[in-house]
Each structure stands twice: as structure tokens, then as C-alpha cells.
């Protein structure tokens, strides 16, 4: 009896020891394989922000957000799209209140500059959004080539990463599903997804013969984009059985984007005669728009190697016309734009350029402006037109170049107007005749 009890005791101790050993091994294995960046379906890696604005404390950690639904919205001072989205995010935060917490996480090598930028935007737009200024977490969460911005990380009340998306997915229907614990469709920007997309691209590049058939002179394909398909534009040449073939594809693209690429001159962004966006005059726009916004597609074309990409894309544009049942034409139309004009020539002449031609002195951040040296009025209009919602035209008649510091929120017309007024210039809303791409049924 005593021997049996002794054996039982040894077995019990052995079971406990094996359990502890297994548990310890499992923990170590989990620790060894734990990712430093967010993985969908797994707990969000812990974080601590130590420079926080619009919050009850100057610090904010993942522990503070336990039990809450929250979104980390990563942005940078040079990301125009990020900054332009702040008012929308603020409206979402106001509407949903305590149901959700949106935390902006700003990336910059110069914390003082980005803090000043956010405070200026916050004051002008009456933002209530909490903002953390943290470079370390962004580098950990969005490493290397995967740090495209904006990136939003959605974490539920259990601390589990539900989604990693771009800014377009911050919509009310998605947020409703998110806080209700339901699944929703989104563009997957998680590191795992981007790694898969990158691997596919690498495989295509290494084995191009798998994606083309030289027995066809032209092939095109169009399909609806769905979450998980990635986002990329690819073009390359290849030779198969002594036949040169070219290939072009665009993934996660709106028809508006494809049409701009296919029909407008390559320099439409900079010239003064082409309007930036197509004009849609459609009776039926169901193939272009849905309740969630612009419908996105995947498009590809294969064509003979002796033809230019520009020529093939023009033909592809005609194929789009057939499939989507529209007629595209370039017309001269009056469209809205901004004009830069002289308000006070004496004041402006105080900033005539000293003639320095060192481009390294020019420092311009899309989002917050910068210092411009030896710049013509044409260049000033071109630079401002990149960030403003409509085209900017030089209407000053000024021939001399200028040196000016212009630190403004470049996406906000009112702030750009204020900045230009310091130098005797003004930004005036008007209209001008442009070569305009018109889309009709």
C-alpha cells in the first residue's frame, strides 16, 4: 500500500512537472514567434506613447485602452492624405463618443515640427482627436518597406487586432460592424498581407513566362478588386520563344484613376492646360460608384513588345469604354481653379531671389510647407497645386524669382492664402478653360 501511494505520488509529481515543462515550452515558443507588429487575429503588441496631445495625460499605453474599441491611425507630416483625413476622423470620433477611441500616431524625425503642425491643424479644425507623437512604435509596427501611410490598426475590447487598413476603410458601416463584433470587408494592409503580395510580385518577376502567352497579340482582363488582392502597378518587358511581349497591370484602381492614366498627358499634374480630374456626366454610374464610394478594379493588358506603353494604354482605354459603356472625349471646359495673383508688388519685391541656385537649400514638406529659394511663380503654383484640392495657376505676370519661407498647412486653402498674403500675393478662386476628360454614357 505504501509502495502504491509512493508510486502514485511520483506519477502525480511527474505529470505536474511535464505540464509545467510543456507550459513553459509553449510560452517560450509563443514568445519566440511573437511578432513586434500587429497581426490580425492576435493580441496587439504592447505600446507606450510618452508625448500625447488632447488626452488626460501626457502618456498613453495599450493597458490604458484595455476594454475599449480603438483605432491607431498612423500618419506623417509629409503625408498629405493623412492630414486631409483629420476632419473626417474627428467627425467619426464625435459621433461615436465613448464607443470608440481614435488615436492619431504621428511619425517624424523632428518631434518639435510635427507637434507644432498638429497643434496648428487642431486649432484651425477644432480637433478633439488624441494624438501621440511617436517614431519608435511606428518603426516597430510598420517596419521597412511596409510603412506606407496612412495605416489604421483596429483593436477590439479584448485587445485583439481585428483589421489593418488604409484610410478609405474608416467608414460608418465598418465602424458599426467593428463595435458590434461583426466582420467587415477592408483592404488588408497588414504586414503578412503585404509580404504575400511582395512574394507574388517577386515570383512573377522571376518567372514571367507564366503570366504571358505569345500566341495572343493583345489580351486584357478586368475584374472587381476584393480585399486581400493587394495594391500595385506593374509593367515590364519579357521575351518568350523569341517574341517580345509587354505587360501592364494595375490593382485596386478606380475607373477614375485608370482613365487619368490612359487618356491624360503624362504631365497633366504640372501643366496649365489639362484639368486634373475627369468630369463624369453619367445617367448610370452603377459600375463606377457604390454606396461605399468608388468601385475599385484590377486591370491588366498584354501587348506586342514593339509597341509603346502609351500606345497600348490608349487602346486599353477604348476597351474600357466598351465594357463600362461610356464615351470618353477631351473637351475644352471651364473648370474651377486657384489663381496666384499680386496684391502688393512693393512687398513682393522685398523677396526677390538673391540668385542662389543650390537646390539643397529648398526644403518643402507636403503638409506643412517649408523654405523656397530661387523659385519662379510658375513653380510656386505647381508646388502648391500638388496638395490643394484643385489646380493652381500662376496669374501674377511676374518674371523675377523669389526666396520665401512659406510654412503653411498646404492642404488647407485658407492657410495657404494667409501665408501668401505675407509676401504681397493672394490665392483667388476662379475658373479657367482646360483640356478636360469628359465621361458620358
* Residue 230: predicted pLDDT: 64
Note the pTM of the prediction, 2 decimals: 0.67
* Residue 215: predicted pLDDT: 58
CA angle 388, 103, 368 (to 5 degrees): 30
The sign of the dihedral angle between the CA atoms of 283, 289, 294, 297 is negative
pLDDT above 90 covers a percentage of the chain that reads 36
Q: What is the mean pLDDT of residues 244-273?
A: 72
* Residue 156: predicted pLDDT: 97
Q: DSSP secondary structure string, 313-379?
A: HHHHHHHHHHHHT-EEEEEEEEEEEEEEEES-HHHHHTTB------GGG-EEETTTEEEEEEE-HHH
Q: What 3-state class would DSSP assign to 392?
A: strand
Contact yes or no for 252/187 (Cβ under 8 A): yes
Residue pLDDT, tens place only, 72-81: 999 988 888 8
Give the position of cell 520563344.
Answer: 241
Q: Whats the size of the chain, residue-wise?
A: 441
Whether residue 120 is predicted with pLDDT greater than 80 in this model: the reply is yes
C-alpha cell at 390: 484643385
The region of weakest confidence among 134-143, 369-378, 421-430 is: 134-143
Residue from 65, 70, 36, 276 nearest 154 by CA: 70
* Residue 109: predicted pLDDT: 78
What are the residue boundaries of the structural domains of the chain, listed by start?
48-189, 207-270+293-325, 334-440
Q: What is the mean pLDDT of residues 20-48?
A: 66
Environment class of 206 (CB within 10 Å of its CB; exposed 0-12, middle 13-18, buried 19+): exposed
* Residue 129: predicted pLDDT: 95
In whole angstroms, give the CA distance from residue 77 to residue 418.
20
Give the position of cell 507606450.
Answer: 48
In whole angstroms, give the CA distance from residue 162 to residue 158.
10
* Residue 4: predicted pLDDT: 36
Q: Predicted confidence band at 319 (pLDDT cuts at 50, 70, 90)?
A: confident
* Residue 19: predicted pLDDT: 34
Whether residue 256 is predicted with pLDDT greater than 70 in this model: the reply is yes
Q: Predicted confidence band at 402 (pLDDT cuts at 50, 70, 90)?
A: very high
In whole angstroms, give the CA distance from residue 338 to residue 155.
41
Whether residue 60 is predicted with pLDDT greater than 90 in this model: the reply is yes
Q: What is the mean pLDDT of residues 85-100?
A: 94
* Residue 29: predicted pLDDT: 36
> How crowded is residue 256: how many other Cβ atoms within 10 Å of its Cβ?
16
Q: Which CATH superfamily is domain 48-189 in?
A: Glutaredoxin (3.40.30.10)
Give the position of cell 475644352.
Answer: 332
Whether residue 273 is predicted with pLDDT greater than 90 in this model: the reply is no
* Residue 301: predicted pLDDT: 82
In whole angstroms, give the CA distance from residue 264 to residue 381.
20
Give the position of cell 498627358.
Answer: 265
* Residue 1: predicted pLDDT: 39
Amino acid at each position: 500500500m505504501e509502495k502504491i501511494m509512493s508510486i502514485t505520488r511520483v506519477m502525480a509529481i511527474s505529470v505536474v512537472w511535464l505540464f509545467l515543462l510543456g507550459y513553459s515550452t509553449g510560452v517560450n515558443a509563443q514568445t519566440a514567434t511573437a511578432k513586434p507588429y500587429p497581426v490580425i487575429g492576435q493580441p496587439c503588441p504592447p505600446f507606450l506613447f510618452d508625448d500625447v496631445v488632447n488626452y488626460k495625460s501626457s502618456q498613453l499605453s495599450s493597458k490604458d485602452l484595455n476594454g475599449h474599441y480603438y483605432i491607431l491611425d498612423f500618419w506623417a507630416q509629409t503625408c498629405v492624405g493623412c492630414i486631409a483625413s483629420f476632419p473626417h476622423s474627428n467627425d467619426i470620433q464625435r459621433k461615436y463618443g465613448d464607443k470608440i477611441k481614435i488615436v492619431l500616431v504621428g511619425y517624424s524625425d523632428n518631434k518639435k515640427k510635427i507637434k507644432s503642425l498638429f497643434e496648428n491643424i487642431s486649432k484651425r479644425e477644432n480637433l478633439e482627436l488624441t494624438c501621440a507623437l511617436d517614431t519608435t512604435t511606428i518603426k516597430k509596427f510598420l517596419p521597412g518597406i511596409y510603412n506606407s501611410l496612412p495605416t489604421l490598426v483596429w483593436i477590439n475590447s479584448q485587445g485583439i487586432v481585428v483589421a489593418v487598413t488604409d484610410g478609405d476603410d474608416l467608414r460608418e458601416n465598418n465602424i458599426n460592424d467593428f463595435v458590434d463584433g461583426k466582420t467587415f470587408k477592408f483592404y488588408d494592409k497588414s504586414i503578412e498581407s503585404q509580404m504575400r503580395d511582395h512574394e507574388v510580385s517577386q515570383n512573377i518577376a522571376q518567372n514571367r513566362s507564366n503570366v504571358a502567352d505569345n500566341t495572343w497579340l493583345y489580351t486584357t482582363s478586368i475584374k472587381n478588386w476584393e480585399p486581400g488582392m493587394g495594391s500595385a502597378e506593374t509593367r515590364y518587358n519579357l521575351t518568350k520563344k523569341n517574341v517580345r511581349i509587354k505587360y501592364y497591370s494595375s490593382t485596386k484602381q478606380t475607373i477614375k484613376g485608370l482613365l487619368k492614366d490612359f487618356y491624360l498627358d503624362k504631365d497633366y499634374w504640372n501643366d496649365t492646360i489639362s484639368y486634373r480630374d475627369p468630369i463624369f456626366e453619367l445617367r448610370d454610374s452603377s459600375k463606377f460608384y457604390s454606396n461605399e464610394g468608388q468601385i475599385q478594379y484590377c486591370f491588366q493588358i498584354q501587348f506586342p513588345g514593339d509597341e509603346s506603353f502609351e500606345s497600348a494604354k490608349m487602346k486599353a482605354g477604348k476597351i474600357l469604354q466598351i465594357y463600362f459603356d461610356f464615351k470618353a472625349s477631351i473637351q475644352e471646359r471651364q473648370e474651377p481653379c486657384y489663381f496666384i495673383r499680386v496684391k502688393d508688388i512693393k512687398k513682393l519685391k522685398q523677396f526677390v531671389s538673391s540668385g542662389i541656385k543650390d537646390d539643397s537649400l529648398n526644403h518643402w514638406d507636403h503638409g506643412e510647407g517649408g523654405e523656397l529659394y530661387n523659385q519662379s511663380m510658375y513653380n510656386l503654383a505647381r508646388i502648391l497645386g500638388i496638395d490643394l484640392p484643385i489646380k493652381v495657376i500662376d496669374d501674377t505676370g511676374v518674371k523675377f524669382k523669389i526666396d520665401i519661407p512659406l510654412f503653411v498647412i498646404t492642404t488647407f486653402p485658407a492657410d495657404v492664402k494667409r501665408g501668401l498674403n505675407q509676401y504681397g500675393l493672394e490665392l483667388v478662386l476662379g475658373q479657367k478653360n482646360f483640356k478636360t476628360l469628359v465621361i458620358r454614357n
